[in-house]
Structure 1
Amino acid sequence: MCQLLGLNCATPTDAVFSFTGFRRRGGATDTHADGWGVAFFEGRGVRLFIDPDAAARSPMADFLQRYPIRSRNVIAHVRKATTGAVALENTHPFMRELWGRYWVFAHNGDLHGHQPKLHRHFRPVGDTDSERAFCWLLQELDKSHASLPPVPELTATLRELIPHISRHGTFNFLLSCGDAMWAHCSTHLHYRVRDYPFSRATLADEDWTIDFSTVTQPGDRVAVIVTTPLTRDEVWIPFAPGELRVFVDGAPMTDTGT
């Protein structure tokens, strides 16, 4: 299985602290050494970095650990390959355009027998079950809405679509178009909201403690979504199996349901 990391923020925020711990799971503190990637939304653009090598020893990951890209939505992934070869085209996150916006998706789990019919505009480049599921989701969203709808409408449509995929196996995923972040749990997913009054946190996979009160400003708020809690000394809220949550401006919306 793979692992997921997402940040949804009220103001542009760098992911250096979270990414430093998370990348260690890509071949150092865990076995997810078959590629990694991270996407940073900046306005309507996306900086996408993917690498089929292990994150724990990747020079590109070294660069990103030192380079504080500020974003309101970040999706990262470390891969343990099950379906699809270890190759650049099979490395998450995946990105596609819909309604003139970039969409980014990363998946943790295995899907068996999910072979939907895909139209010309939404076709996978690689051979993973994950990219195929992403293409189908976008295809069906495109059928359901003529243009980008409000977040609650998108959430309602996603809630109708997800069971068609999740019945085929494990479907933990993160999805964003830059306005919000959707997180769905089949098995394991946790989140933590960091806001005022900010406190200290210590990474679980790296010897690093940070006092967030010294590096934040009024109005900052960050929701961190991750497969397994990133820190040893913070309270993380587990998702329920089958739960879909949407995060906007660094907090979960309260009307998402399960």
Structure 2
Amino acid sequence: MCQLLGLNCATPTDASFSFTGFCQRGGNTGEHADGWGIAFFEGRGLRHFVDHESAANSRMAAFLQTYPLKSKNIIAHVRKATVGEVSLENAHPFVRELWGRHWVFAHNGDLKDYFPRLHTHYLPVGSTDSERAFCWLMQELAKSHAGTPSVAELTLTLRELVPQVAQFGTFNFLLSNGEALWAHCSTKLHYLVRQHPFAQATLVDHDWTVNFAELNQPGDRAAVVVTTPLTTNEQWAAFEPGELKVFVDGLPQA
């Protein structure tokens, strides 16, 4: 299985701390050595990096750990290949356009015999079940709304669409359009919200402790979503199986 990492923030935030610990799971402290990727939204733009090398050994991943790109929405993934060969086109996260915005998607799990009917606008480039699922979600979202919907409307539509994919297997995923972060749990997903008063955090996978009180202002806030908790001394909340959450400005929405 793969590993997911997502950040949704009230103000542009860098992911250096979380991404550094997360990368260790890509071939060092974890077996997920079959590629990695990360996407940073910046306004309506997107910085998208993928590699078929392991995150623990990738020079590009090492560079990004020390180059603090700031974003309000970030999605990262380290891969253990189950469906589809180890190649650049099969590295998550995947990107598509819808309603004039970039959409980013990363998946953890296996979908058995999943070959949905796809139209020509949304077709996979690689050979993963994950990209097929993403293409189908984009296709069905486009069909469900005549104009650009609100985050609340998109959430309602996703609650109808996601079970149609999840019936084929394990469907843990992160999805963002730069306005919000949607996270769905089939088997395992955790989150926390870092906000004032900030405290120290120590990584599980790397010898690094950060005092966020020294780095953040009272108005800063970040929701962090991850497959397995990244830190040893913070309170992580587990998703319920089948639960879909949406995060806006660093907070889960009702």
TM-score of the alignment, normalized to the shorter chain, above 0.5: yes
CA distance in 2, matches of 1:138, 1:186: 20
- In the comparison of the two structures, how many residue pairs are matched? 254
* Amino acid across the alignment from 1:4: L
Corresponding residue SS for 1:245: strand
Task: Tell me what 1:65 maps to.
Answer: 65
Task: Tell me what 1:237 maps to.
Answer: 237
Task: Tell me what 1:129 maps to.
Answer: 129
Task: Tell me what 1:187 maps to.
Answer: 187
Task: Tell me what 1:251 maps to.
Answer: 251
CA distance in 1, matches of 2:196, 2:175: 26
- 1:28-56 per-position Cα deviation (integer Å, ceiling 9, x unaligned): 00000000000000000110000000000
Deviation at 1:217, TM superposition (A): 1.1
Deviation at 1:218, TM superposition (A): 2.2
CA distance in 2, matches of 1:148, 1:112: 32
Task: Tell me what 1:215 maps to.
Answer: 215
Task: Tell me what 1:79 maps to.
Answer: 79
Task: Tell me what 2:56 maps to.
Answer: 56
TM-score by length of structure 2 reads 1.00
CA distance in 2, matches of 1:157, 1:113: 24
Task: Tell me what 1:5 maps to.
Answer: 5
Unaligned stretches of 5+ residues in structure 1: none
* Amino acid across the alignment from 1:17: F
TM-score by length of structure 1 reads 0.98
* Amino acid across the alignment from 1:80: K
* Amino acid across the alignment from 1:167: Q
* Amino acid across the alignment from 1:206: H
Deviation at 1:204, TM superposition (A): 0.2
CA distance in 2, matches of 1:205, 1:49: 22
CA distance in 2, matches of 1:72, 1:121: 28
CA distance in 2, matches of 1:78, 1:37: 7
Corresponding residue SS for 2:233: coil
- 1:148-202 per-position Cα deviation (integer Å, ceiling 9, x unaligned): 2011100000000011100000000000000000000000000010000000000
- 1:114-157 per-position Cα deviation (integer Å, ceiling 9, x unaligned): 11110000000000000000000000000001222011100000
Task: Tell me what 1:171 maps to.
Answer: 171
- 1:36-93 per-position Cα deviation (integer Å, ceiling 9, x unaligned): 0000000001100000000000000010011000000000000000000000000000
Q: Where has structure 1 moved over 6 Å in runs of 4 or more?
A: none
CA distance in 2, matches of 1:243, 1:142: 23
CA distance in 1, matches of 2:45, 2:147: 18
CA distance in 2, matches of 1:185, 1:218: 30
Task: Tell me what 2:93 maps to.
Answer: 93
CA contact (8 A) 2:197 2:218 kept: no
Higher mean C-alpha deviation, range 9-18 or range 142-151: 142-151
Corresponding residue SS for 1:194: strand
Task: Tell me what 2:157 maps to.
Answer: 157
Corresponding residue SS for 1:122: coil
Measured on the aligned residues, the alpha-carbon RMSD in Å equals 0.4
- 1:94-127 per-position Cα deviation (integer Å, ceiling 9, x unaligned): 0000010000000000001211110000000000
Task: Tell me what 1:38 maps to.
Answer: 38
* Amino acid across the alignment from 1:90: N
* Amino acid across the alignment from 1:140: E
**Identity of paired residues, percent?**
69
- 1:5-36 per-position Cα deviation (integer Å, ceiling 9, x unaligned): 00000000000000000000000000000000
CA distance in 2, matches of 1:206, 1:142: 41
* Amino acid across the alignment from 1:160: E
CA contact (8 A) 2:124 2:132 kept: yes
Corresponding residue SS for 1:104: strand
Corresponding residue SS for 2:56: helix
